[in-house]
Every structure is written in C-alpha cells, then in structure tokens.
C-alpha cells in the first residue's frame, strides 16, 4: 500500500495471487493501513469511518492516530479509493497476507529477518490456536497453495498485534519484548537511536533521531554511518555529523545494544544461513546501479526505490534459481 499508485499495485498483486502464480507478504505500509482503520478503545475494524475521517486531522480513537503526519503518509492510498466500501475491502484483504516466507533454501521478508521476533510470534500464535503468521513450505508452489488456504488472524488478533503500549518505541525494546515489537521489527526493520539526542534530516525532509541499520551485520566496531542501511544521501549526511563515532555497547539510556540489535558476530545473520531477500529500504543511487542490491553473499534487497522513479528509483526483482550465494547478474530492473 505504499508508493504513488497503491490501488494499482494491490490490484496487480491480488490478480497474480488469485491466479496462483505469486505469493505476497505484508509490509509496513500494509500493517499501518490496518492500524489506521482499527479503533483503539474497542476491538473494531472500521475502514469506512477511517476513509470518511481522512481530513479530520488528529481524530481520536484509532490505533494509528489520524495525525497530520500519518494522514500525509497515507494520503495517496486514501485518494486512490473514491469509494469507502472498496477501501475497506482492500485493507481487509491486507489482513490475510503472511508476514514471512521460509523455504528449505530461501527466506523472504519485507524488512528484516529477526529470529527472536519470529520465534516470539510463533509462540504467540500457538497460545491462541492460530496458524503461523508466516509460511513455511518445501517449495514456492506449496507456499502459494498454503497462502490460498491458510487460517488468518481475525480483527481481535490484529488489534493485539498493532496495539503498541503508550510511549513505547520498538527500537528501545528487545525484539521479543511483546507481539507489537516483534511485528514492527519484521515489517519496519531494525533501528538504532542516535547518541546525545542527535538528529538528521532524511531525503524526504523528515527529521530522524534513529537510523535503519544493517540488521544482518554485527554493530561492534562500526560507526553509525558504516552500519546505516539507508539511501546514500542520508548516509553521507550522517557521516558528516558523526564521522568517527563508534556504536557503543550501551545506549544513552543504559540499555545493552546487544539486547536491542545484533552487536556481536554470533548474533548477526551469518554466512551459513540460507539466503534472504527483502524490500522496504528504497536503496538506490542514480550514479551507481549496484547500490542496494547484494549486501552480503546471502543477503539482498529488492527495493530499489520504485516509489522514487522521478529521481532515479526503479522497480526491481531477483531471479533466484537455488543458489546459496546471491549475485548481481540475477537482478532484473527497469533501469537496464
């Protein structure tokens, strides 16, 4: 549900899934859309009211507040649907999407493969008699079949998953602190607060006090800009502000970094792990077509900024044929 043409994207992906030739995973824009339509004080999904209140400013009573910032982020989606009935049906369909895919030789996730978060959500599902939020299968064909038949969380379960405790921030808590943090780590990535209240302005003009990090790498002996998983311009801005600052073993609030993010090598996504593909980060550089693709031998990002096509972003895919070492030659994108 992100980008400038969310309705077209949802319709295309829906057709591919209905035809049995694709499997779709939920991302942060999808879970944000569900929370945007979920009442906070009652366990109620009300997409029609959310659509009708889209210009109401900071309207109270929603799991994702209808603040100016959130309305601006969701504006393209709201504008794409002229009918509140169609909008509600579309967001309800997003609630059916799995969160991750695991095959014997490949993993796929929207933002970050975080074992502690996935294990927590598996336990959370088991305690409620639910099937997994993800899909594990022996082949992609089996996974597609499972997607079409799987039991899905209902409104009550989604309300639990998206009801972040007041004032809580996922990057200040362990990845298995609760179901809300676990879900955020997987669909929104792993972030690290900057030291001493420092902030920088990202490429969209938003002030940021935390950075998205290379969740598959260890943070020890890395500077903040070396460990950032962001567009090159944002990394350059961060480097200018913190040219040599190493990530410390504890945060400004005293929490151990190893409790929050991979800090030592044994916590990282190591070489023996099966390849993992993910999106989310809009990594691209107009002058360097290799940016944002293969980030480690078994780690690759397929989001090359299609939502930024006017400034160099492009739509991309990876053709995987069972290889354990991912390679640049298997990327296909509309930039050549």
- Pairwise CA distance, residues 132 & 121, whole Å: 8
Helix, strand, coil abundance in the chain, percent, nearest 5: 40, 15, 45
Question: In the chain, where are the structural domains located?
Answer: 6-94, 191-267, 276-333
> What pLDDT score does 59 carry?
64
3-class secondary structure for 149-161? HCCCCCHHHHHHH
If residue 201 lies in a helix (H) or strand (E), which one and from where to where?
strand 200-201
**Tokens (6 digits) for 205:** 């003009």
pLDDT for res 84: 93
CA torsion sign, 277 to 279 to 285 to 287?
positive
Return the pLDDT at 208: 84
* 167 Rama class: left (phi>0) / alpha (psi -120 to 50) / beta: left
First to last CA, the chain: 26
- Where the chain has pLDDT below 50, the residues are none
| pLDDT of res. 2 | 67
At 169 the pLDDT is: 85
Residues 6 or more apart in contact with residue 325 via CB below 8 angstroms = 275, 297, 298
């Amino acid at each position: 549900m992100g980008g400038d043409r969310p309705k077209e994207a949802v319709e295309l992906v829906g057709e591919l899934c209905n035809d049995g030739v694709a499997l779709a995973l939920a991302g942060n824009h999808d879970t944000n859309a569900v929370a945007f339509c979920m009442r906070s004080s009652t366990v109620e999904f009300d997409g029609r009211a959310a659509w009708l209140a889209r210009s109401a400013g900071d309207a109270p009573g929603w799991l994702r507040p209808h603040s100016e910032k959130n309305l601006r982020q969701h504006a393209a989606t709201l504008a794409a649907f002229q009918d509140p009935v169609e909008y509600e049906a579309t967001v309800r369909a997003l609630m059916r999407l799995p969160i991750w895919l695991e095959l014997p030789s490949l993993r796929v996730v929207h933002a970050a493969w975080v074992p502690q978060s996935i294990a927590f959500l598996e336990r959370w599902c088991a305690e409620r008699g639910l099937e997994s939020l993800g899909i594990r299968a022996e082949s992609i064909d089996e996974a597609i079949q499972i997607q079409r038949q799987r039991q899905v969380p209902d409104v009550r379960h989604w309300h639990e998953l998206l009801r972040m405790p007041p004032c809580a921030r996922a990057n200040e808590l362990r990845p298995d602190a609760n179901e809300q943090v676990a879900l955020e780590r997987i669909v929104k990535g792993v972030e690290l607060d900057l030291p001493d209240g420092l902030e920088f302005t990202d490429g969209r003009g938003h002030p940021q006090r935390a950075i998205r990090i290379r969740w598959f790498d260890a943070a020890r002996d890395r500077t903040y800009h070396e460990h950032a998983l962001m567009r090159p311009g944002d990394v350059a801005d961060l480097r200018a502000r913190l040219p040599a600052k190493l990530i410390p073993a504890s945060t400004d609030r005293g929490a151990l970094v190893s409790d929050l993010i991979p800090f030592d090598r044994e916590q990282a996504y190591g070489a023996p792990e099966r390849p993992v593909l993910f999106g989310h980060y809009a990594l691209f550089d107009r002058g360097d077509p290799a940016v944002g693709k293969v980030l480690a031998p078994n780690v690759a990002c397929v989001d090359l900024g299609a939502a930024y096509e006017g400034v160099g972003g492009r739509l991309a895919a990876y053709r995987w044929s069972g290889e354990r070492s991912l390679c640049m030659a298997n990327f296909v994108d509309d930039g050549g």
